[in-house]
Amino acid sequence: MKKLALLLCCVFALQLASAQEHGIINNSESPYVKLKSVDMGDCVWTDGFWAEKFDVAKNSMLPYMESLLTGDTGHALNNFKIAAGLKEGKHKGMRWHDGDFYKFMEAYMYMYAQTKDAEILKKLDGWISIIEQAMLEDGYLQTQIQLNDKVNRYENRKYHEMYNTGHLLTSACIHYRITGQKNFLDLAVRHADLLYTLFMPEDKHFGRFGFNQTQIMGCVELYRTVGDAKYLKLAEKFINNRGQYKVEETPETQGYPIGDMVQETTPLREEDEAVGHAVLALYYYAGAADVYAETGEKALIDALDRLWYNVTQQKMYVTGALGQTHYGASSNRQLIEEGFLDAYTMPNTHAYNETCANICNSMFSKRMLDIKGESKYADIMELVVYNSGLSGISLEGKDYYYANPLRMINGTIDYDKMVTEFPERQPYLDCFCCPPNLVRTVCKLSGWAYSKPANGIAVNLYGGNKLNTTLLDGSKLELEQVTKYPWEGRVDITINKAKKAAFDVMVRIPNWAEGTKVLVNGKDAGVAVEAGKFATIKRAWKKGDVLTVDMPMDVRYVEGNTLIEEARNQVAIKRGPIVYCVESPDLPKDAKIMDIYLSSDKDFKPVYKKDLLSGVTSIETEVLVRKNNNDADMYKMVSKPEFEVVKSQLVPVYSWSNRGRAEMTVFMPIIWK
């Protein structure tokens, strides 16, 4: 009998362990994490905003992207086939194209976790088989190098081997978690073992090789998946290498800016400012947060705290976007591209704001949320996913923006000279990093909606969904969220199954939601409710209990810090988590976007319109159009201008540019009455 009890105990413990290990980030055993991931598939969108976006991902974003990447336009699968000897031809696409294919596969994995569509697994197995055949005997796999006779492996960091590696490792770990199959994971292990032999020894050539460092996240996730500490050591090594070597042009760095551009001037633990390429920086910080989650090193989290503050309080756009410029200099006067300028330098029209950088901002904040358990990090995740993330793809799910400026004025940018900036979204981008990054984020977002504190559940993101999960003590929790968020502020969370003992339900009160009410079964919950914090309701929850979060959805003016010259005397309009813009289809035919002013005596009327832009709440209002604004000269004498009042509406910034080529602005000058 004792033996049987022991056996049952063991079986239960095993089930418990496995029930917690299928998160997007598997932090189930991470000692320095307060909020643990829910397993993929535990939360499924049911209705409303994210359910609709998830459907677009299933029916349009993924199939369309598949046609691109497995066909001749994207050529990504072709590259693997050619490397595998299954096809004749040459490598096409950017050097990071392998990584973009792994990201696309990852998106399909999240889709599978929620739909259990067996066809997806078949597709994945087919692609993994080709990838396996492309991998060399010693675990090396980089089609951009294998199919190029002129370069050797690990010759120059600009070839993005580290970036492709990171996405290979991450994608393989996710595949193992959702399927239990090792066919992809085994490839990742072989590949990472090769990396370990090359990059662990102290060596200046390999020491300066870190570049677009997704491999740090990948190595930590591999450590979490297979339990071998050498992959964590390797991840840490990639952090330790940065800032340890003299910043100078060497054969491994030629052809791409050095120093601040790739965050190698200052060691991370001493850094207090986000510099350089925004995507590189934020992937680096996200990876460092993963390392901290395992090691608890104080110097690392102190640096990440400083960097998170600098990024989100001194260099971030009102949409959550990052990377103020395409070309420029860091505050150390070093050449940078696609990245950060000085604090509070926030151009609108020339803002770069690569979709990837914006998404990386939310990835870094997700990790900080897990570590700290503070809702301010989820505020950033929410800001990004509703605004500067989603603006990277058309409502139909087939056209992409790489750059996401806050203003579009006809004639200011010569798009013929641009590589990644476009006046309208494009059906294919030669540089294809952003589209699969965004699509995988849409596909995985239900996995970010909840987290698990020590005793209960935390609600990070709102949206109609069902959650069926196992709490950290092994008890089952089932609940359902019903809401029209973000168009309406009321969220009803019904408990369908819960343990008898008391536990916490933490609900995020967004930083914009002052005046939120939290009710249990229609009565005030009697807990502290503060915007920008979690409200925690501890009680013995019963089946049928309804927790209501009622957030005020007033239309609000948002003003920039006075140090942001580019936003001076202007306001942006925000309602709930959604940032709005005014776009030329909602203005008189010949009105120029720079002649549009707001007046504080005009009312805002939010109206949900199901036939507008796939269903949005627009804000009906009157705007002022400045008359006779002759722009022939650079400067002109002016007296009080004349204005015409016109009826217009503001639309969510993520939905702009879906009605033909248009002008647009987020910040508008305001006349205070």
Which stretches of the chain bind Zn ion, using CB under 5 A?
A: 354, 356, 433-434
Establish whether the linkage from the previous residue to 641 is cis, with ω within 30° of 0.
no
- Please report the DSSP string for 3-41 in residue order: HHHHHHHHHHHHHHHHHTS-SSS--TT-TT-SSEEPPTT
At closest approach, how far in Å is the CB of 40 from Zn ion? 24
Reading the block at residue 634, the tokens are 């650079």
* Radius of gyration, CA atoms only, the chain: 25
At closest approach, how far in Å is the CB of 421 from Zn ion? 13
At closest approach, how far in Å is the CB of 252 from Zn ion? 23
C-beta of 433 vs 459, nearer to Zn ion: 433
- Cα distance between residue 111 and residue 113, in whole Å: 5
Angle subtended by helix axes 229-241 and 214-226, to nearest 10 = 160
At closest approach, how far in Å is the CB of 393 from Zn ion? 12
At closest approach, how far in Å is the CB of 429 from Zn ion? 9
C-beta of 338 vs 595, nearer to Zn ion: 338
**Residue of this chain nearest to Zn ion (CB atom):** 356
Reading the block at residue 92, the tokens are 């096409």
C-beta of 318 vs 356, nearer to Zn ion: 356
Burial zone of 225 (CB within 10 Å; 0-12 exposed, 13-18 middle, 19+ buried): buried
C-beta of 94 vs 612, nearer to Zn ion: 94
At closest approach, how far in Å is the CB of 221 from Zn ion? 20
- Cα distance between residue 144 and residue 147, in whole Å: 6
At closest approach, how far in Å is the CB of 355 from Zn ion? 6
At closest approach, how far in Å is the CB of 585 from Zn ion? 27
C-beta of 434 vs 506, nearer to Zn ion: 434
Contact 108, 123 (CB under 8 A): yes
C-beta of 16 vs 94, nearer to Zn ion: 94
C-beta of 113 vs 359, nearer to Zn ion: 359
- Cα distance between residue 375 and residue 532, in whole Å: 6
Residue 243's contacts (CB-CB under 8 Å, 6 or more residues apart) are: 264, 265, 266, 267, 268, 270, 271
Longest dimension (CA), the chain: 96
At closest approach, how far in Å is the CB of 356 from Zn ion? 3
C-beta of 288 vs 433, nearer to Zn ion: 433
At closest approach, how far in Å is the CB of 244 from Zn ion? 28
At closest approach, how far in Å is the CB of 367 from Zn ion? 19
C-beta of 403 vs 493, nearer to Zn ion: 403
C-beta of 237 vs 350, nearer to Zn ion: 350
Torsion angles phi and psi, residue 625, rounded to 5: -110, 120
- Cα distance between residue 53 and residue 600, in whole Å: 34
Contact 242, 267 (CB under 8 A): yes
Helices in 20-142 by DSSP H: which ranges?
Answer: 49-56, 62-69, 76-83, 97-115, 118-134
CA 238 to chain centre: 22
C-beta of 361 vs 516, nearer to Zn ion: 361
Q: CA-CA distances (angstroms) from residue 219 to 105, 165, 179, 254, 453?
A: 18, 9, 20, 26, 25
Which helix (H) or strand (E) element contains residue 617? strand 616-626
Q: CA-CA distances (angstroms) from residue 358 to 121, 131, 322, 440, 578?
A: 30, 29, 6, 14, 15
At closest approach, how far in Å is the CB of 437 from Zn ion? 6
Look at residue 327 and give its three-state secondary structure: strand
C-beta of 223 vs 317, nearer to Zn ion: 317
Reading the block at residue 495, the tokens are 């408990």
